[in-house]
Amino acid sequence: MSATIRLVATLASAAAASATPHAAQPWGLSKPTTAFGAGHLRVMTFYGMDPALQHGWTNVYRGSIGDCDNTTLTGTYKMKILVDLPDTVFDRDKKAVHPKWRAAVSRFTSSLMPKLAASTALGVFLGDEICCGGTPYSNLSSVALALRKDLGAKAWLYTNECSEMAKWPSLADGGVPSALDAISVEYIRIPAVNSSSKIPAVHPLCHAASTTSTTRTGRRRSTRTRSSTVCCSSC
């Protein structure tokens, strides 16, 4: 997917879409401010980060293990770090995992564990559109299970996919990997002007949002609609 900023919010409870504040924040996260209407969310983050602008109303920063030692992020801004999984695990070009992916996961989790213990890290972002990009579901599930085995229940494991996937495997075949805490799915559609086409319906346990923009080139006008769907395994 492009580097366009994608909002990934709530992700921890179906009640996160409610205006009723939560009694307590999970994982030791600071509570987002209500100034921008985000005070009821347990997790508030962006796909693209600008913490100098986003701190206060976001409480999770997507970054590296090194960012866990950034006291501006974790101290001044009171953000926890959602650490990106290194590219030594998934081989995106070959649409598979690297031959020594398990050793790579072990090295990564060994480095991450002290940050989780210190409460500066939240967990792991496994990657963007892994299965949508052609990597088998079984690879994603295996990596998620390995991360969960190494990191335990405290780590928050999350990934993003896209609407071009025909479907997730049925529950009988595993469904959404059980080791994941959250998965988001995005839709991008370019309907014709005045078309009756609509954004695809989403599962009732997912929270949908969309934005529409119109551009004009000469006499030609096109409308682009982006719809984001956020689901969670704990809903």
DSSP string, 39-66: TT-S-EEESS--HHHHBTTB-EEEE-GG
Residue pLDDT, tens place only, 87-144:
999 999 999 999 999 999 999 999 999 999 999 999 999 999 998 888 988 999 999 9
The residues that bridge with 63 in the sheet, in sequence order, are 83
d(CA 109, CA 52): 28
What fold, for 7-185? Answer: TIM Barrel (3.20.20)
Q: Give the integer Cα–Cα distance in Å for 226 and 5.
A: 11
Tokens 């934005």 — which residue?
211
What count of Cα atoms within 13 Å lies in the side-chain half-sphere of residue 32?
23
Residue with tokens 């996937």, as numbered in its chain: 165
Check residue 101 and give its pLDDT. Answer: 98
Give how far Cα 139 sits from Cα of 1, 65, 84, Å.
Answer: 20, 23, 17
Task: Report pLDDT for 117.
Answer: 96
Q: What is the mean pLDDT of residues 177-193?
A: 74
Helix (H) or strand (E) segment spanning residue 88: none
Stated pTM of the model? 0.69
What pLDDT, in 10s, does the model give residues 70-93?
Answer: 999 999 999 999 999 999 999 999
DSSP 134-194: T--HHHHHHHHHHHHHHH-TTSEEEEEEETTSS-PPPGGGT-S-TT-SEEEEEEEE-PPTT
- Highest average pLDDT, of 12-21, 42-51, 126-135, comes from 126-135
Check residues 230 and 3 and name the one with the higher pLDDT: 230
Length of the chain: 235
92, amino acid identity = R
> Token pair of 95, please?
């649409």
Beta bridge partners of 225: 189, 212
Nearest alpha carbon to residue 26 among 65, 57, 59, 56: 59
